[in-house]
Amino acid sequence: MTTETVIVVGAALFGIGVYGALSQQSFVMLMMGIELMINGALLVLVAMWSRAAGGSPDGQMLAVVFMTVMAVEMSLGFALITSAYRVKRADITEKLRKLKG
Amino acid sequence: MSVALDAALGVAAVGGMLAVGSLALAFADEAAAAAVAGAPLRPRRLLVAPFRRAASALLTATTTTERPDGGGRALAPALLAGLAALAMSMLPLAPGVVPADPSTGFVVFSAAVAFVMIAVFLHGWSPNSTLPLHGAYRFGAVALSFQIPFLLAMLATALPAQSLSLVRIVEAQAPLWNVIREPLGLPIYLIVGLAVGLWGPLNLPDADDLAGGTSAEDSGLARWLWEAARTSMLVAVAALGSAAFLGGYLGPLLPGPVWVALKTALLLAVMAVARHALARARIERFVEVAWVLLVPLALLNVFVSGAFLL
Amino acid sequence: MSDLPVSLAFAAFSAVAVVAGIRVFRTDSMVRAAFYLLASFAAVGAIMVLLGAEFLGMVLILMMAGEMLVMAIVMVMYMMNPAGLNPMVMVHQHRTAIAAGAVAFLALAGVGLAGGVPQRPVTNPGAATGDLGRELLGNSMLVFQTAGVTLLGTMVGAIAIAAPRGRFGDADADSQEPALQPDEEPEA
């Protein structure tokens, strides 16, 4: 377990997340893609804290901020899904035509 | 070699504690049922009952459903029992005697309780059948509501210890047990414990009005395994509750492990009586009580517990 | 702790994290997808524990269990075929997405492998939890409080967005299913 291997794993999770966020039609599946991206970033962040920052507590602090971002993303995402369903009866991105340029 | 031996001993001890606790709960449950019904207590029948149930389960055929998620069905009881074992493995038995003491024991236990909702949901979803799925969604509503009060009630016990380690949480109760220092904590914890163990008044996901809820499609060994896992979880909740609120191994005269057993038995007895003496709570009522009443009370509990430290 | 068991555990958890991550988008049922995502997250949490961030790893696992259940409930509420086990392919711009994912992976992995990462491992892994606690309520208290206020604002905002009634009446007044083809009449 070296820093490099953890970064490769994190990059793989991020890549899968990019694929999911771009390819999925369903809002929930799309959010899963975003979650995987944050997940990969968080993993690399913790690896950096553990292996490259000498265990300085600021690194963990940054990870806590990351988790806050994750929670914000989740709750606002679900709120928007609720709102989109109420107004447009939409459960997939294709049904939100007005946002299309 | 000695590491492997230690690990084997630890696993055996945790498994043994869960088995003994489950048996004790089964006896207490039978006794409470008889007492509440006003029936005479027949000790021989009472002692045989759990084994009779297990034997009958072994003799019953295991049924299956149409296109189930086989992996999920097999995983759910194993996951629940594993979570019970994980929680139990952090129970301090005597000063310096504990199977595992992670510096984040509180968080590990909370994560185990949070994963109970995954196990129950998996158990209800995987048979691909209506009634179990209803049970699973019921537990979703219950579990999301009890999470916050549970975390806050446990958090208050970590404050006087100034640590998240369960060993330190027990040690910090030497001058005063948490049940006295923060009297709101234990009742909230027990209410949540009933919900976590799918037990008694909060047995909504596995309730009779859903023909057994998440276990409606289980029979024979599968049903017995699920019930054993549920009981183990309840025992683990009682044991860790005794450590977090009743001072764990602390107590005069008797050795530490005896106190742990006595306090756990006390909490199990309370749960057994609650199952037979209290009416089942309606689900929307429980959700409302949890958010409107338990969350503020648990917050108050944290503030009171913090005020003691000033 | 010796190196070999840690390396083996890391390899196993990495495999679970990546394979479960791929399976999220290669399964027929959204509930299964949520379970795979949870497995991926749990494996990442375990790797974080291996890296010495015991608290962060366990909190991630704790958080994700609740999140998966919320996802399951949202699926039941709004999505078609929520718990179903029927085949489901709901993708758009598939090739572009695969290419973008691959490019992102290769670029980031390349950056990681290019080196230049300083080698300063954690000196005292056992103290990480206590360190974080002192940091949260010490030097970084302002950051911590800001995160808390952000979450409070998020709660208020999320409730405002999702509220069934707003100042202009019911949120779902006159709402209807939009047409799937551009020139079609909307479904009733």
Q: A86 with C171: CB under 8 angstroms?
A: yes
Chains B and A touch (3+ CB pairs under 8 A): no
Give B130-178 pLDDT, tens digit per residue.
888 888 888 888 888 898 999 999 988 888 888 888 888 888 888 888 8
For residue A83, pLDDT beyond 50: yes
Q: Residue A16 has what pLDDT?
A: 94
Q: Residue C2 has what pLDDT?
A: 58
Q: Which of C24, C50, C151 sits opposite A71 (nearest CB)?
A: C151
Q: What is the mean pLDDT of residues B230-237?
A: 92
**Are C73 and C5 part of one and the same domain?**
yes
Residue A97 lies in a domain: no
What lies within 8 Å, CB to CB, of C156 at 6+ separation is: none
**Are C1 and C67 part of one and the same domain?**
yes
The region of weakest confidence among A90-94, B48-52, B98-102, C86-90 is: C86-90
DSSP B252: S
Q: Which of B67, B103, B125 sits opposite C129 (nearest CB)?
A: B103
Complex ipTM value: 0.89
Q: Where are the beta strands (DSSP E) in chain C?
A: 165-166, 169-170
Residue A95 lies in a domain: no
Domain extent at residue C61:
1-86
**Distances B27 to B21, B39, B84, B261, C122 between C-alpha atoms, Å:** 10, 15, 20, 15, 51
Phi/psi of residue B155, each to 5°? -60, -40
Number of domains, chain B: 1
CA-based nearest distance A24→chain C, Å: 5
CA dihedral A35→A41→A45→A48, nearest 10 degrees, is: 150
CA-based nearest distance B255→chain C, Å: 30
Q: What is the mean pLDDT of residues A79-94?
A: 82
Residue A80 lies in a domain: yes
Domain extent at residue B237:
2-307
Domain extent at residue A77:
3-90
How big is chain C by its Cα radius of gyration, in Å? 22
pLDDT band, very low/low/confident/very high, at C1 (cuts 50, 70, 90): very low
Residue A64 lies in a domain: yes
pLDDT band, very low/low/confident/very high, at C176 (cuts 50, 70, 90): low
For residue B283, pLDDT beyond 80: yes
**Are C80 and C138 part of one and the same domain?**
no
Q: B61 with B219: CB under 8 angstroms?
A: yes
Residue A25 lies in a domain: yes
Number of domains, chain C: 2
**Are C13 and C79 part of one and the same domain?**
yes
Beta carbons of A19 and C97 less than 8 Å apart? yes
